Structure 1
Amino acid sequence: MKAVQFTSYGEPEVLQLREVADPVPTPHDVLIEVKATTVNHLDLFQRAGSRPVGQLPFTPGLEAAGVVIEDSNGFRAGEHVLTTRATKDTGSGGYASKLAVPAAHLARIPAGVSFAEAVAAGLAASTAWGSLFDLGHLKAGERALIWAGSSGVGSIAIQLAKQAGAWVATTASSEERAATLKKIGADLVINPRTQNVEEALQAVGGAHLVIELVGTSLQTSLSAATVDGRIILIGNLGGKEATIDTQAWRLKRLQVIGGGQLQTSIANEEKYLQLIAKKNVIPLIARILPIEQAAEAHRLLESGEPQGKLILTYAE
């Protein structure tokens, strides 16, 4: 089979498409032919060496969508499936053309959802669901602030929160991005470079739930939250250090909950795939590139956050 790997750390050029041995399934695995995967920030960190991997050569890729090759463990040959746990699969990550995936890690992709749409949602939607509902316990009628609305997690979280009946504010750094986020359901889009996020949220009563994806904006999230609000700390796109006022945190009785690389259950992953099939949720896709252009996809992500996911595909 083929796989994009790196044998040493470095710039995107270290990514090479290579011939490698097929994975050998365990008795609990399902063998799938990969059709699409995505590029995530962790892939960049691993390739550059800032998040060293256990062993080289290494195949990146946190998620993959594909076709079941042969009947196994309750899955039928030809079924379309998604894994958001590709780094735990036998042999390699999602940049490989075949994966041996534990059956317990597979979600079924419903009719009407493409492989690109499935992975564009993928781990981002799993994280969004986990932060909004598993940890954040978002309820209808509550107000949510979702940072970095143009990110993969942010754009899906906006739509899932709206599906749950919440009022949603988000952040974007340009009018073009703001227009897209309003189109997918955001009630309020704030440009944190030119507007005061805290004032904008407090003007409507404060956020009951904040999905914090930037990290350095944690103090603003504390200030923007209502009394007894919840803040789910998922990402640190802006950096891993923040200075906060513990007095404000204490007096408002705020909960700050670390989420990290959060994933919801397979059952919930199948729920959001059904929402995509019904067109109630639309994953944002920036570009779809052939797997041979993995290095170019890494360069694009490094050049500035695209609005939507970068998808890598294997030829049909």
Structure 2
Amino acid sequence: MRALRFDRFGGPDVLRVAELPDPVADGGTAVIAVRAASVNPSDLKNIAGAMEGTVLPRVPGRDFAGVVVDGPPEWRGTEVWGTGGDVGFTLDGSHAEYLRVPVGALARKPARLSFEEASAVGVNFVIGWLGAVEIAQLGPGENVAVFGVSGGVGGAVAQIARALGARVLGVDRVAPADGTPAAGIVDEFVPFTEDPAEVAEALLGHTGGRGAEVVYDAVGGVTTAAALAGLAQRGRLVVISAVGTPTVEINLPDFYHREARLLGADSRKLDVTESAERLTRLTPYFERGEFRPLPVAHRFGLDDGAGAYAAVADGVPGRVVILPDSQPLNGKAKS
């Protein structure tokens, strides 16, 4: 099979298209023909050596959608989707023509989603679900402030929160654009500024002075001060990232007097099988059209896989996907 591969850390230029043996299923694994695989910022960090535990040489790529071609007879020909904190790090990933995973990692793709759309769901919605539902235990009627609401994770959290019956306060530098996951979901939008007090004041104003019971900070670092200041009494702050600075100062008396909770969520801790369990829980929402992924805006073939990574590094809007069985598409949509 053909696959993107890297044997040293660096920028997108470390990626090469390699000819590797086709994976073969054994008693506990299945082989998927990858139809589409998105490129996440964490994939870019992975090839740069900024993620822990990566074993070289490695085929990168976390998110995928495809068809089972080898494995248990009852699964062959089934359209599946997936992601995982081990895929692309300690196991060869999805930026290849074929991917081998444990049978327990097989999750049926929602019929409503195309392969491209399904490949753009994994990391964003799994970490959104993990942080908002499992860790913060967001409930109906609560206010949730989502920092980074216009991004992939923030948009996923906004949709999950709405499905749970929560009131969504979106915080970002720009409001969610039409057609993006959080568009039409946010009840109140707060522009992010460099002044934490200004952001917190706006959040307090939208919550009757109470603050948000849950703050989901999909940015972290530069946003932490504002996120803490906008938190309600006994509020829960979920952090999944750190942008700009890995360290922040916390006013400890204020923190413990408010009985606040600071919670971390890390999708890397969920392997491909554990992630499949979350995707299976999410499937009914996608089948009903209640959840929608970030639009796919740029498509690349394997031969221009480095270009796909470069596009993510440049911060292009929308999701970037690799179509392993396609000719180079130069980042443009197929006609």
Shared fold, TM over 0.5: yes
Structure 1 residues 180-199: aligned runs within 5 Å: 180=180, 183-193=183-193, 196-199=198-201
**Structure 1 counterpart of 2:282, one-letter code:** Y
Say whether residues 1:276 and 2:278 are aligned partners. no
Q: Hey, what's the Cα distance between the residues in 2 that align with 1:10 and 1:267?
A: 33
CA RMSD of superposed structures (Å): 2.4
Aligned to 2:51: 51
Aligned to 1:228: 234
> Alpha-carbon deviation of 1:104?
1.3
Q: TM-score, normalised by structure 2?
A: 0.85
Name the SS of the counterpart of 1:58 in structure 2.
coil
Q: Relative to structure 2, which stretch is displaced further, 268-277 or 278-287?
A: 268-277
Name the SS of the counterpart of 2:189 in structure 1.
strand
**Structure 2 counterpart of 1:284, one-letter code:** L
Structure 1 residues 145-164: aligned runs within 5 Å: 145-164=145-164
> Alpha-carbon deviation of 1:184?
3.9
> Alpha-carbon deviation of 1:253?
0.3
Name the SS of the counterpart of 2:107 in structure 1.
strand
**Structure 2 counterpart of 1:5, one-letter code:** R
* Residues 170 and 85 (structure 1), Cα distance of their counterparts in 2 relative to 1, 3 Å cut: same
Structure 1 residues 73-92: aligned runs within 5 Å: 75-85=74-84, 87-88=86-87, 92=92
Aligned to 2:303: 292
Identify unmatched segments of 5+ residues in structure 1. Answer: none
* Residues 288 and 188 (structure 1), Cα distance of their counterparts in 2 relative to 1, 3 Å cut: farther
**Structure 2 counterpart of 1:291, one-letter code:** L
CA shift digits 1:90-139 (9 cap, x unpaired): 95111121111111122111222111121211121011011111011111
> Alpha-carbon deviation of 1:53?
5.7
Say whether residues 1:209 and 2:214 are aligned partners. yes
**Contact 1:208-1:229 within 8 A present in 2 as well:** yes
Name the SS of the counterpart of 1:36 in structure 2.
strand
Structure 1 residues 1-316: aligned runs within 5 Å: 1-51=1-51, 54-72=54-72, 75-85=74-84, 87-88=86-87, 92-175=92-175, 177=177, 180=180, 183-193=183-193, 196-203=198-205, 204=207, 205-216=210-221, 217-261=223-267, 263=270, 266-285=276-295, 286-304=297-315, 306-315=316-325
**Structure 2 counterpart of 1:230, one-letter code:** R
* Residues 179 and 4 (structure 1), Cα distance of their counterparts in 2 relative to 1, 3 Å cut: closer
**Contact 1:120-1:152 within 8 A present in 2 as well:** no
**Contact 1:141-1:166 within 8 A present in 2 as well:** yes
**Contact 1:63-1:86 within 8 A present in 2 as well:** no
Q: Hey, what's the Cα distance between the residues in 1 that align with 2:146 and 2:204?
A: 15
Name the SS of the counterpart of 2:21 in structure 1.
coil
> Alpha-carbon deviation of 1:180?
4.8
**Contact 1:149-1:181 within 8 A present in 2 as well:** no
> Alpha-carbon deviation of 1:211?
1.0
**Contact 2:149-2:182 within 8 A present in 1 as well:** no
* Residues 146 and 123 (structure 1), Cα distance of their counterparts in 2 relative to 1, 3 Å cut: same
Q: Relative to structure 2, which stretch is displaced further, 255-264 or 147-156?
A: 255-264
**Contact 1:151-1:307 within 8 A present in 2 as well:** no
Identify unmatched segments of 5+ residues in structure 2. Answer: 327-335
* Residues 58 and 9 (structure 1), Cα distance of their counterparts in 2 relative to 1, 3 Å cut: same
**Contact 2:34-2:324 within 8 A present in 1 as well:** yes
Q: Hey, what's the Cα distance between the residues in 1 that align with 2:160 and 2:240?
A: 16
> Alpha-carbon deviation of 1:80?
0.7
* Residues 175 and 91 (structure 1), Cα distance of their counterparts in 2 relative to 1, 3 Å cut: closer
Moved over 6 A (4+): none
Q: Hey, what's the Cα distance between the residues in 2 that align with 1:30 and 1:258?
A: 32
Aligned residues: 314
- Over the matched positions of the two proteins, sequence identity in percent amounts to 28
**Contact 1:60-1:87 within 8 A present in 2 as well:** no
Q: Hey, what's the Cα distance between the residues in 2 that align with 1:131 and 1:32?
A: 29
